[in-house]
Amino acid sequence: MRDNFGDAVGETLRSILLFLPRAVAFVAILVAGWLIAKAVLKIVDRLLERVGFDRAVERGGIRRALAHSRYDASDIVARLAYYGVLLLTLYLAFGIWGPNPISDLIAGVIAWLPRAFVAIVIVVVAAAIASAVKDIISGALGGLSYGRLLATIASAFILGLGIIAALNQVGVATAVTTPVLIAVLATVGGILVVGVGGGLVRPMQSRWESWLSRAEQESRTITEHARAYSAGRRDAEQRRAEQRRAEQRRAEQRRAEQRFAEPAGPAATTEPSFAAPAGTEPSFAAPAPAEPSFSAAAPAATTSAAPLHTGPAGVSGYDDPEATQVVNAPGIDSDPTTPLPRQDDPEATQITAPAPEVPAQRGSDDSDSTMILPRTDEPRR
């Protein structure tokens, strides 16, 4: 029992003694690698500045892309070198513990860093060459309308070649970039061979002149067509606007004609008559259009609907203000009643005498219609 315990303690102490040197070596490698990486960062940055790497980047136009960044091109390359040294340090430090997956991953990244560095250099150089070619072509063909276009096309072509080469260098889409790069380089080589040989220089020169003159004429024609098209559109819009305004005016005229052409209602049959005969009080009752006509010249045969109470003077209806008298229309109805308002009480009715002539309004042939007659100013007896 005691022997087993002693063996276990001995194994533990032995493993601790073996771990401590490895841990110390791991930390020492990390510290040393970090210091070396710092030194490499400063050295590479100063070296690139002295070589003129930043000026080449400015010519290529990459500096404009990095204008809003804290780093310039030399700083980026120096940072890549710095992180490369750090990764190498980690690879060595983890290698102390023997084979492990972390060491394999770091080894792959370290192997890719030189490719990334070369790809960056290729892009920078291609951008510088493209910028120089653009300046040369722009200066040589500045008097032509298509000189700037040719300069831009040449610059984009060279920059595209540099990007394709950089992608091929880092191993991105090599199945696509490699054939494209080969085809482009073969085309450029064939053009150079023909140009150097000189066999097709003059024919191509004449053809280029004819093509360029034709392109210039076509560009003028296209410009004229575009101007004519824009002018036609403006004219069409003006005509449509005039048509809309004319339609609006016609619609307003039709509405005005309809308002003026609406027939006015019969005022004689709807409006009440406030005019009264001379010597009588005005009547505020509207005459009905369908009332029978009572003419003063017609025979006025009046009968009493009931025995009326007569006053001392023998005049009917003056002693009883609520009494009514039936006035028969000639040949229409024998019992129409005509309530007359009193002067002191407009709601009361008065019986009219048969003798006086009563002006009446001619109505329709309705035998059951009645008519309100105004009160006469005849004094009571």
- Of 78-92, 157-171, 318-332, the one with minimum mean pLDDT is 318-332
When pLDDT is averaged across residues 189-207 and rounded to a whole number, the result is: 75
Give the separation between CA 283 and CA 372, rounded to whole angstroms.
8
141 compared with 29, residue with greater pLDDT: 29
pLDDT band at 12 (very low <50, low <70, confident <90, very high): confident
pLDDT reading at 299 higher than 60: no
SS3 333: strand
Residues 6+ apart with CB under 8 A from 93: 26, 29, 30, 33
What does the chain come to in residues?
Answer: 381
pLDDT in tens, 74-126: 888 888 888 888 988 888 888 888 788 888 888 888 888 888 888 888 888 88
Find the farthest-apart pair of alpha carbons in the chain and give their distance in angstroms, rounded: 167
**Mean pLDDT score across all residues of the chain:** 72
Q: What is the pLDDT of residues 32-64, one digit of tens each?
A: 999 999 999 999 888 888 887 777 676 656 666
Considering only residues 309 and 263, tell me which one the structure prediction assigns the higher pLDDT: 263
Number of H helices, E strands in the chain: 9, 0
41 and 78 in contact (C-beta within 8 Å)?
Answer: yes
Q: What is the pLDDT of residues 204-228, one digit of tens each?
A: 778 888 888 888 888 888 888 888 9
Coil/strand/helix, residue 255 = helix
Question: CA 327, 329, 335, 336 torsion: positive or negative?
Answer: negative
Q: What is the mean pLDDT of residues 320-346?
A: 51
Query: What is the C-alpha separation between 29 and 35, in angstroms, rounded?
Result: 10
Domain spans of the chain, in order of start: 2-190, 198-249
Q: Show the tokens assigned to 132.
A: 């120089």
> In the prediction, which pLDDT does 268 show?
43
Q: What is the 3-state secondary structure (H, E, C) of 149-184?
A: HHHHHHHHHHHHHHHHHHHHHHCCCHHHHHHHHHHH
Per-residue pLDDT at 240: 92
Radius of gyration of the chain, Cα coordinates, nearest whole angstrom: 60
- Say what the pLDDT of residue 243 is: 93
Q: Quick one: pLDDT at residue 239?
A: 92
